[in-house]
Amino acid sequence: MTDLSPLLQADKGQPATSLVLVDKSGFDAWLQAQPERVRQVLTAQGFKAEGYQLAIVQGEKAEWSAALGVANVGELSPWCLAKAAETLPEGTYRVEGQGPGPAALGWLLGQYRFDRYKAEKPKKVPRILLTDDPARIEESVQLAEATHLVRDLVNLPAQDLGPAELEAAAAAIAKDAGVKLAVTSGEKLAAEYPMIHAVGRAASQDRAPRLIELEWGDQRHPRIAIVGKGVVFDSGGLDIKNASGMRLMKKDMGGGAHALALAQLVIRSRLPVRLHLLVPAVENAISGNAFRPGDVLTSRKGVTVEIGNTDAEGRLILGDALTRAAEGAPELIIDFATLTGAARVALGPDLPALFANDEALAADLLAASEKVSDPIWRMPLWKAYNELFASDIADIGNSSDAPMAGAVTAALFLQKFVPDKMPWAHFDTFAWRASAKPGRPKGGDALGLRAAWQMLKARYGG
């Protein structure tokens, strides 16, 4: 993993190029206060303090500064400096008259590049930002590195990211002191986690399914569980997807990537909790032993599930993983999954759908989302829709024939594997950006990660 700490440093008065932040409300007064020469330069560059605008201002001698347009000088968002971090030349920079605050995160994320498969790799141009708040450095770097982890894992093609590679990513986190890694596979997986095994059994031997678990923390601390869907590629199984539907299915392990990243934040920050991380890792492939429509699987919980659609596989592996998580009696469970296209139809690519069975947990997550500008939207666990995935021959079906409420019915399916009084939140996230924004390039991305981390910090940060 790339070490991002050199890009954000404490301000000790070292030489640096000034970044002057200007918003629309203060632009006219600020412009009039500038020397005529500067006003001409800014006018020539069309600078009007619009969001993400950047203008270079040459000083009277060799020095220069940059004027940056922001939405609100007094209330910076994480993304205010991201465009500048993408485009400014190599060097050291200081925000004039104030600290970067939360915008330090966007500065780090704006310098992310995924160039593993480029024959000619773009030259890395490190831009260093100085901050007057040294206490924020470690937090910003850890959050940026966790986001980079999500992006890197999701961007990798399935040829280079199978269940074994997800296990390796967990093993890298487990190198921290006191972290225990356990992996269940083979006959033991088939016996103990039948739905995880069934979904992944059609894959080749070197991509065999497994349940990856990490345990960390002091036994005296509150226990929490984090679960992530790790479908490294989803063909749809025998209910095969069409070409366009399969194109982005390398990202179907995005929930697992979020879970790994959140676990990394918990461990490296030494949050006073007992962490249990679970990532069921499978490839939903097609072969002679693939699970079939009409099959009935007996879950780890004992609930029988009739398979109505092999492309509704994520909820199956999560069902077994959630059952295992609940056996540890955590005081809350959070799961992440790229679970349904229906959530994207309802909310688009930027808004993860949040489902929660506990009002306090939902409220805390929504408040955290607002605080860190990581938007999420709560959706209902509408119990009446349980009838939509009823089965004639099993306890439940895994899919509904109704062409509506797909995100809700998927969440209701997962809820059947969580004890009634155990607080649980489910993020149906896209884990992808179809188009670039400052600090957020096209490709894999963390959506909902910062909100979940902020909630955990607020609850358990001491």
Residues marked as catalytic? 241, 315
Query: CB–CB of 31/39 below 8 Å?
Result: yes
**Cα distances (Å, whole numbers) of residue 129 to 7, 84, 181:** 6, 11, 36
**Cα distances (Å, whole numbers) of residue 160 to 206, 210, 219, 252, 430:** 12, 17, 37, 14, 21
CA distance 258 to 219: 25
Nearest by Cα to 131 from 93, 180, 159, 89: 93
Vertex 243 angle, CA 242 and 247, to 5°: 120
Query: Sheet containing 296-298: which strands, arranged edge to edge?
Result: 296-298, 304-306, 396-397
Compute the radius of gyration of the chain from its Cα atoms: 24
Query: CB–CB of 370/77 below 8 Å?
Result: no
Q: Which residues contact 411 (CB under 8 A, 6 or more apart)?
A: 339, 353, 355, 379, 381, 426, 428
Strands 127-131 and 91-95 turn out to be: parallel
Question: How buried is residue 122: exposed, middle or buried, by Cβ count under 10 Å (0-12/13-18/19+)?
Answer: exposed
